[in-house]
Structure 1
Amino acid sequence: MTSILEISNLEKSYTSGSKKLTVLEDINFSITEQETFSIVGPSGSGKTTLLGLCAGLDKPDSGSVILNGIELSSLSEDERAVLRNKHVGFVFQDFQLLPTLTAIENVAVPLELQGNKNAYARAKELLIKVGLVDRSDHYPSQLSGGEQQRIALARAFANDPKILFADEPTGNLDAETGEKVVQLLFELNKELGTTLVLVTHDMELAKKTQNILTIRGGKIANLTSAV
């Protein structure tokens, strides 16, 4: 299979006052198309920073990120945003739905940004897949946490992304609701042929993916096959 994401010699640090804090150091790995891959590690180990670099939300100090054959550091911020809108889906711990839009409008947003004239038809299809088409006209405040995350899942898959990044997708959900969301995430990912990159502190969730990258202190501690 072809690589969808290649990470080489990645380094990232931040300056706090006069101190330099190295968050990631010498990170190397690659992910193939349609692979499921998790990034685990203790709080503060650099997991979310790494996810942001992989998705082009931030730039590394050195090293390279090649996403879908494109080296991200060569792109401007606007060009990276276009790339994300075309090829990348996101699921966050806190859902990040737009509060002034209904469920169906939230799902249709990425498609409308692409100028897709069938945005609402596609959004309805996805709401059917996540079992919430009857909540299409509800606003996020009228939905439970589990329902909001299912809407967020539908939105993440709306643009048929090549790769989906999920950052602690069950972090704000109770165990039973979280399990249902995870099942739905993996089902949709398999059905639509997407690559899944999951950041989690939950090893049981990580074990559902094909490969597990463990980070400690900003460095790779281990890369194992879970399947």
Structure 2
Amino acid sequence: MPFILEISNLEKSYTSGSKKLKVLEDINFSITENETFAIVGPSGSGKTTLLGLCAGLDRPDSGSVILNGTELSSLSEDERAMLRNRDVGFVFQDFQLLPTLTALENVAVPLELQGDRQATRKAEALLQKVGLADRGDHYPTQLSGGEQQRVALARAFANDPKILFADEPTGNLDAETGEKVVDLLFELNKERGTTLVLVTHDMELARKTKNILTIRGGKIANLTSAAV
């Protein structure tokens, strides 16, 4: 199975005042197509920073990120944005829906950016898939947290991404709602053959994936295969 994501010798630091803070150091791992993969570790360990680098939202100080065969550091900002819109889906803890757009319009955005003339029809089908066919004309403020995250899931899968990055997808949800969203996430992921990379504090959620990468203090502490 070919690799969809290859991370080599990744390093990232931030400057705070006169101090330089190393957030990630010598990170190496690869993820195969259709794999489910969790990144876990305590707060401040560098998980979200790593996710941002993997997705091309930020640039490393050194090392390489190869996403779907493309080395990201060789791309301009616009080229990276184009690659993300074509190959990547995102689910965030705080949903990040556009407040001035309805649920249907939020889901249709990635498709419209690609010039898809069937954007509305496909968005309607995705909303039906996540159980929100009757909420398409509602704005985010008119939806519960669980409903907003289901809209975000539908949007994440709209462009049939090769890889989906989910950053604490249940972090703002109660346990019961979070469980439903997770079931839906894994169901859609399996159905569409997407690679799933999940950042989470929740070990129970991490154990649903095939492989678990543990980060502590910006370094890889462990990489284990989970029984799925």
Q: TM-score, normalised by structure 1?
A: 1.00
Distance apart, 1:16 and its partner CA: 1.0
Aligned runs of 1:42-191 on 2, under 5 Å? Answer: 42-191=42-191
SS at match of 2:182: helix
* Distance in 1 between residues matched to 2:149 and 2:131, nearest whole Å: 12
Distance apart, 1:17 and its partner CA: 1.4
SS at match of 1:169: coil
* Distance in 1 between residues matched to 2:160 and 2:29, nearest whole Å: 24
Code of the aligned partner of 2:148: Q
Distance apart, 1:150 and its partner CA: 0.2
1:215 matched to which residue of 2?
215
* Distance in 2 between residues matched to 1:223 and 1:157, nearest whole Å: 27
SS at match of 1:184: helix
Q: TM-score, normalised by structure 2?
A: 0.99
SS at match of 1:110: helix
1:41 matched to which residue of 2?
41
2:29 matched to which residue of 1?
29
* Distance in 2 between residues matched to 1:21 and 1:52, nearest whole Å: 17
Code of the aligned partner of 1:20: K
> Runs of at least 4 residues of structure 1 off by over 3 A?
none
Distance apart, 1:169 and its partner CA: 0.1
RMSD: 0.4
Distance apart, 1:18 and its partner CA: 1.3
Distance apart, 1:136 and its partner CA: 0.6
SS at match of 1:39: strand
* Distance in 2 between residues matched to 1:2 and 1:157, nearest whole Å: 21
Code of the aligned partner of 1:91: V
Q: What do the CA deviations read for 1:117-139 (whole angstroms, capped 9, x no partner)?
A: 00001101101110001101000
* Distance in 2 between residues matched to 1:133 and 1:158, nearest whole Å: 15
Distance apart, 1:226 and its partner CA: 0.5
Unaligned runs of 5+ in 1: none
* Distance in 2 between residues matched to 1:74 and 1:63, nearest whole Å: 12
Q: What do the CA deviations read for 1:59-113 (whole angstroms, capped 9, x no partner)?
A: 0000000000000000011100000000000000000000110000000000001
Code of the aligned partner of 1:166: A
Q: What do the CA deviations read for 1:147-166 (whole angstroms, capped 9, x no partner)?
A: 00000000000000000000
Distance apart, 1:179 and its partner CA: 0.1
1:2 matched to which residue of 2?
2
* Distance in 2 between residues matched to 1:10 and 1:101, nearest whole Å: 37
Code of the aligned partner of 2:73: S
* Distance in 1 between residues matched to 2:95 and 2:14, nearest whole Å: 27
Kindly, what percent of the aligned residue pairs are identical?
87
SS at match of 2:146: helix
* Distance in 2 between residues matched to 1:133 and 1:103, nearest whole Å: 10
Matched length: 227
* Distance in 1 between residues matched to 2:150 and 2:18, nearest whole Å: 43
